[in-house]
Structure 1
């Protein structure tokens, strides 16, 4: 069973179009649920692809360009209409609290649930969220405004019980299982110590997902995202417009693939395509020349690990 399930809600750059939706992703990791970016039309896409509104308690916004957060105030208003009562945590650049609360105030959108804003300003990677299931750290990026990507890492799961070996020790009962799964040895009444390694097997390696939003080519993020299982990296342009990528502080498909290769990631997903390109297969072709395991982000497409 997969521990990571990423649903692409939107993956195009700039303005919404008939069949093109700005950036938004729904991430399920280790039974936790997160919304990453919230461009216009995100609510519509959430309904279309059956994303559970009520499961989301944490929203991560990469930067304050419209195609990444103009859908946020609408979503927050909808939560109010749906009589949400759970608190909601919103992470994003400094200023996100003011701009969001002002819109809600002027539109008289009265939400009864508590919104907790976590405003970011550091240009160094920092841990911004952690519970017993997952940790989230920032990935400092380089764009025209202050921008972060986000690294999601599963917490290590408990060790698995080796019931065959445990059955060889009648003294060991169900009451001992929790301590054994936590890695503790067992001391028998005779004084004999049964090593935990005999009673358990190691859990699966914790999985990880890195979201790299709008950014120029930035190799110094490689140590942060090294060996991740799934990487989303923007690829606004093809190599033929690298000059425009540099000017607008975006990345080409080839550059995104080089980041993936040098980071030794397992799989790369690219998106945020410029509207000037009609054949998106060219993005995949260009990236796969550098990094074979590359897929295109598409609205409604699900990536599982």
Structure 2
């Protein structure tokens, strides 16, 4: 038998050839890359303030302020962790985030499952449009509507509560600290649940219809098809969204809390985001605010890595 001729390995193409072949794709990502560099990576140089007794008046320019501000090591972090506010804002932040994880996170999934079961295409489109609309309403408008509906003077919902519970027992949503977290979760669910179904409906669109037909032949009803076909089909999407949600466990949303915060509920509404705003913007303590923000970022990174590894341990693909 004749020996097979060994073909020489093809030489890898140079990066110039590959770039020219896909040059328009590379050009299209330039705006996104510039945005990330300018607004995400460049400001990371300001993290040095967390290790300085920073003052903008220490130099003639912004760069001079960084150069002439004394380096204090980890003293700012020690002051932050041992201060009287750390435990309180950590508790408030975690209570809001955990409540959001329990009640708000499953809401888009449940709504997407129900929308997927609607057989009338016209009714389905109308319903989707109606539940998407609140997402495009500004949080300022949502806060104003909430204040108007639950006002103790002329609020429509508050007067309904008076008729049900009586004037003395009617809950004051706007000032009762115990009702602050449920109010935030209710606002988030009303505003974002519909829009959050988009990614799950997109995942459901890829489910093979033959699976439903085979299950129907075997006698499965709608609930069994949903449990054994629909949910497993979007399980990987749910896991990825859960990892992202866990990574933002210390990000409770500054705008919403700031708009709903008042002197009556401040004990439960002070979170890391409002703390950073108060210390950095209002009081001018940039070093302490930077240390708090850096702590949030480090915890978020650890939570994302931990949740991703845990997902892989349970057999899921994870985020990366």
Both proteins in one fold, TM over 0.5: no
Structure number with larger C-alpha Rg = 2
The structure with the largest helix share of the pair is: 2
Between 1 and 2, higher relative CO (CA 8 Å, sep ≥ 6) is seen in 2
Q: Could you say which TM-score interval applies, normalised by the shorter chain?
A: under 0.3
Give the TM-score of the pair, scaled to structure 1.
Answer: 0.24
Give me the TM-score of the superposition, normalised by structure 2. 0.23
- Give the number of the structure whose residues are more often strand, by fraction: 1
